[in-house]
Structure 1
Amino acid sequence: MNQVNIINFIRGIEPREPVDLVEPVREQLALVQKHKLPATWLLQYDALIDLRFTDMLLEADPLQEVGIWFEVVQPMAEKAGIAWRGRYPWDWHSHVGFSVGYTPAERERLADVIMAEFYERFGYYPQSVGSWFIDAHLLGYLFDKYQIVASCNCKDQWGTDGYTLWGGYYNQAFYASRRNGFMPAQTAEQQIPVPIFRMLGSDPIYQYEAKLGSNGQSVITLEPVYSGDEGGGGIPAWVRWFFDVNFRPEQVSFGYAQVGQENSFGWQQIKDGFIDQIEQAAELRQEGKLTVVTLAESGRWFRRRYPLTPASSISALTDWRRQGHQSVWYNSRFYRANLLRQDGRLRLRDIHLFDENYEERYLESVCEERDSRYDTLPIVDGAQWSDDTKAGLYPVFYDESGAEVELAVRELTTDESRDGELRVMLELEDHSTAVLRFSEQEIAFAYTGGACKLGLRMVWGDTPEVPAIQASSDEIRYVYQDYGYSLKLQGVENVASKNSEFVLRAEANAIKLQF
């Protein structure tokens, strides 16, 4: 099952530069209706009270869904009895423009205001509410009081526009914890039963370690406005590669991508990429390779099918840049992991643990700064723990003399035929083989090619994001943001530690990491 949501969110004001905000909506709506495609239109409050937008959507065909984009704007705050603190009527800084900048009681008042306005305009309450990020208190309130069925949030990124969302469920969708709107829950009792779909479509090879600049991490996503050398949704060849990678015939659970763009960029900047993507989606739907549904339809489908967050994967076995890199992502409700093959070397460059008890910063507190941060619990972080040292967990061998030999991988292939499980087969340069098996609570690494013993070398740089780490033969213990957690180990004979690295040596030819 492969699903596309066309989600366009609509702002009523753009203070940064003059732009026609109506034209993009008019053109996007005409295009999706021409192709008889359903789409979801999420209205920010200033657009919700603007007849130019609401009249257009009220006249749209019945395939179109209208919902809410939850950023706070001046008329919304003032109607809720809250003094406006922004520089402009819409201010994108976290402590003004997002729910986290307000007390939990104020968040509820803001929600009631926008829901009442929506009901007055459309005669029903919206089923979908999206934002770059929504705190757990607000999301729970929207479900408990208004029974929303779906939400969406921003891709993983470091500091872009002042928003850090890092270590999350990488694509597809998840149920968040009642304590943390970014953290997948492990149990039905602690989850908010509203699936959150990840927006924007990150490049599965290059976005993770995209370069940092004055505005945070650069963007390599499906958004039509991006067409630079790094890749992005404004480049037709990149889009076709991205669809091929995400919409494979074989899936651990389902493939997913969000197509669309907010109106803030104006039509001229997005039209070529948007038109191309809509035509591609229509063609692939006609061929039976994917379905195009509204966000609410995806939410209802997800909840019927998955009582808990399912496992999912993305296997990028080809490289749009033709550099031969391969990247595999695996997510479950317990952890996420990324495996990268680069220049013949293999690296587990990212593992983040999911723990529903790890409380977000803004559950009860107010964000008082322009920047905000959501995160999960790092086990390995190849992006944020690297300096001159490229952080990661590297598989190695020990020959009969005890000498360490780095794994040299000729080719990486995947098997996603087992429900909830991803198997990665490695053909090594000496023609022997190894297998990594990702399942909901375990990563198992086995070498099947000879008498060599397996090892895992973990290294990291001297960066402020590195937690306290201690390793033994049965677990690795961490303390991050004053929160303690651990990774269980099986099959490890001994551990050798020094400075910013340690080596796990296997008893034989297999090691298991257990979550």
Structure 2
Amino acid sequence: MNAAVYPNNVNIINFIRGVEPREPINLLEPVQEQLALVQKHGLPASWLLQYDALINPAFTDLLKREADAAQEIGVWFEVVQPLAEKAGIPWRGRYAWDWHAHIAFSVGYTPEERERLADVLMEDFRAIFGYYPRSVGSWFMDAHLLGYLSDRYRIVASCNCKDQWGTDGYTLWGGYYNQAYYPSRLNGFMPAQTEEGQIPVPVFRMLGSDPIYQYDAQLGGNGQSVITLEPVYSGDEGGGGIPEWVRWFFDVNFRKEQVSFGYAQVGQENSFGWDLMKDGLIQQVELLASKRAEGVLKVETLAESGEWFRAQYPVTPASSLVALTDWRHEGRQSVWYYNRFYRLNLLNNDGELWIRDIHLFDERYEERYMNAVCLDKNSHYDTLPVVDSARWSDKLTSAGLRPVSYDAAGKAVPVVVQAMETDESVSGELAIRIRLEGERTLQIRCSERSIAFSANWTGWGMQLAWGDTPELPQMELEANAIRYAFNGYPYKVELEHNHPPEVISDLGGKAAGGVEIRAVGSELTIVV
């Protein structure tokens, strides 16, 4: 399908906190300025109120008085002291709003407490605005709460944080990289495979991750660094405060050719203050207005996107994010493909061809907090890793799955990329054609349940390498499959080929090591 049928969609989502304990800041000014900015350009936006802002007339009166009919008012679900206490739950936080995972987020409370918190929030919202909110967002939300909001209050859309490792203590890793998915009834982060197993509320991924550099962004004392569309960020590797990066990000997200549709979320939480966000946000909104006028994209509220998504897709559709240019001009290209069964990332690292990531999705894999309570400031959501360069690499080993060619002596030699292009014209599929040195080509076709590799020469294969890291799953080789167990959950990928058999050999031990998959014929398929 092309963009004329499935448009590029943008949500402007500004969520509003009522307190910022870390430093004195005017929290009302950013909301006033953000509202004036979007209305100046005639753009809709979603304004998601945290409970402490919901009960503060300074915020609600502003929205009632100034917001036009194109603006959506919804809820940002983080737990604050007045919400907990009204729900009859003793407050355990350091401040009236405490950002630690076991205090601010639903995972820090029992399922019964989550429902009480939701009831207070939704009923108080209705008392103020006269209706229940249609959109409820959070950095992360457990499946029990999300299912409850869907079943009882009929919300139509939600949103959560981008993939990240440990940032602010929140780990969300291996999920739908962008766009939106229907979550499993057992796992709020896991895309479901069936209508019966899904919560019928699309969850849109927030913040706009850099498709090249965010995945393996450096780790520090506060987890991964942030390379996103948020206007307050402008590091060496990119960010929403850098005009050149923003223009590049829009170009790679809003292409004419899409597997399903393009998507990005624009906006900023008010607790950063207007001075930090204004330059980047003004530039982004002006660019949005210009591209909307050109017909490149559509700007709509989160609820409108949720209704559109539900009308188009009974289950999670395949999506892609393709960056064939590098805003830093360092020769990198990144291709993301994801559907309701798996995700894949392919990187051309200035000539080095490297599958950095494959994660499987399984609606039966229950999240850690479905019935349990998060006990400390660090929370963890994940899916099922097959290849995970970011988490499996160590100081000695660059992990990942790499195509290789075999020389006359049988030695594996890395292939060298000369050019790479993609084809998204077949609905739900992504084809990647890679031209290599020596007039060789490798084609990769990502479809619903498989990743098919096809080469125009014989004597090639794949090498999967990993380092000695605590995130490594258990792996067991079979003749035509690799079995895994992660967090106690078993799964596998199967290997199909057009000439029996390919050679599979163990290259290492139980810690650092690897697997070599040597294709005897021209085709090799990973079946999920």
Deviations 1:230-286 (A, max 9, x none): 210000000000000000000000000000000000000000000000000000000
Structure 1 partner of 2:98:
91
Structure 2 partner of 1:456:
462
State whether residues 166 and 222 of structure 2, in contact with CA within 8 Å, keep that contact through their aligned partners in structure 1.
yes
State whether residues 472 and 494 of structure 1, in contact with CA within 8 Å, keep that contact through their aligned partners in structure 2.
no
Match of 2:347 among 329, 336, 340: 340
Whole-angstrom CA distance in 2 between matches of 1:135 and 1:71: 12
Asked if residue 392 in structure 1 is aligned to residue 400 in structure 2, the reply is yes
1:456 deviates by 0.8
Match of 1:136 among 143, 155, 159: 143
Structure 2 partner of 1:471:
477
Unaligned runs of 5+ in 1: none
Whole-angstrom CA distance in 2 between matches of 1:75 and 1:230: 40
Structure 1 partner of 2:518:
505
Deviations 1:172-204 (A, max 9, x none): 000000000000000110000000000000000
Structure 2 partner of 1:320:
327
Structure 1 partner of 2:265:
258
Structure 2 partner of 1:108:
115
Q: TM-score, normalised by structure 2?
A: 0.96
Structure 2 partner of 1:121:
128
- 2:518 counterpart letter in structure 1: R
Count of paired positions: 513
Structure 1 partner of 2:237:
230
- 1:504 counterpart letter in structure 2: I
Whole-angstrom CA distance in 2 between matches of 1:441 and 1:401: 35
Structure 2 partner of 1:376:
383
Task: Kindly report which structure 2 residues correspond to 1:259-298, keeping only aligned pairs within 5 A, or say none.
Answer: 259-298=266-305
State whether residues 322 and 335 of structure 2, in contact with CA within 8 Å, keep that contact through their aligned partners in structure 1.
yes
Asked if residue 9 in structure 1 is aligned to residue 18 in structure 2, the reply is no
Whole-angstrom CA distance in 2 between matches of 1:252 and 1:148: 27
Whole-angstrom CA distance in 2 between matches of 1:470 and 1:346: 25
Task: Kindly report which structure 2 residues correspond to 1:419-498, keeping only aligned pairs within 5 A, or say none.
Answer: 419-448=427-456, 450=457, 452-491=458-497, 493-498=502-507
Is the deviation greater in 488-497 or in 212-221? 488-497
1:511 deviates by 0.6
Whole-angstrom CA distance in 1 between matches of 2:477 and 2:278: 52
State whether residues 15 and 50 of structure 2, in contact with CA within 8 Å, keep that contact through their aligned partners in structure 1.
yes
The Cα RMSD (Å) is: 0.8
- 1:415 counterpart letter in structure 2: D
- 1:148 counterpart letter in structure 2: I
Whole-angstrom CA distance in 2 between matches of 1:431 and 1:297: 48
Structure 1 partner of 2:246:
239
1:401 deviates by 4.9
State whether residues 204 and 314 of structure 1, in contact with CA within 8 Å, keep that contact through their aligned partners in structure 2.
yes
Structure 2 partner of 1:152:
159
Whole-angstrom CA distance in 1 between matches of 2:443 and 2:425: 15
Structure 2 partner of 1:418:
426
State whether residues 507 and 516 of structure 2, in contact with CA within 8 Å, keep that contact through their aligned partners in structure 1.
no
1:472 deviates by 2.3
State whether residues 232 and 280 of structure 2, in contact with CA within 8 Å, keep that contact through their aligned partners in structure 1.
yes
Structure 2 partner of 1:170:
177
Match of 2:220 among 213, 218, 221: 213
Is the deviation greater in 190-199 or in 434-443? 434-443
- 1:263 counterpart letter in structure 2: N
State whether residues 454 and 524 of structure 2, in contact with CA within 8 Å, keep that contact through their aligned partners in structure 1.
yes
- 1:251 counterpart letter in structure 2: Q
Whole-angstrom CA distance in 1 between matches of 2:384 and 2:411: 33
- 1:495 counterpart letter in structure 2: I
- 2:328 counterpart letter in structure 1: R
1:431 deviates by 2.2
Asked if residue 299 in structure 1 is aligned to residue 306 in structure 2, the reply is yes
Q: TM-score, normalised by structure 1?
A: 0.99
Whole-angstrom CA distance in 2 between matches of 1:437 and 1:227: 35
For 1:193, what is the secondary structure of its paired residue?
coil
Match of 1:406 among 398, 405, 414: 414
For 1:197, what is the secondary structure of its paired residue?
strand
Deviations 1:37-84 (A, max 9, x none): 000000000000011110111121000000000000000000000000
- 1:412 counterpart letter in structure 2: M
- 1:250 counterpart letter in structure 2: E
Whole-angstrom CA distance in 2 between matches of 1:237 and 1:52: 36
Deviations 1:346-376 (A, max 9, x none): 0110000000000000000011111100000
For 1:192, what is the secondary structure of its paired residue?
coil
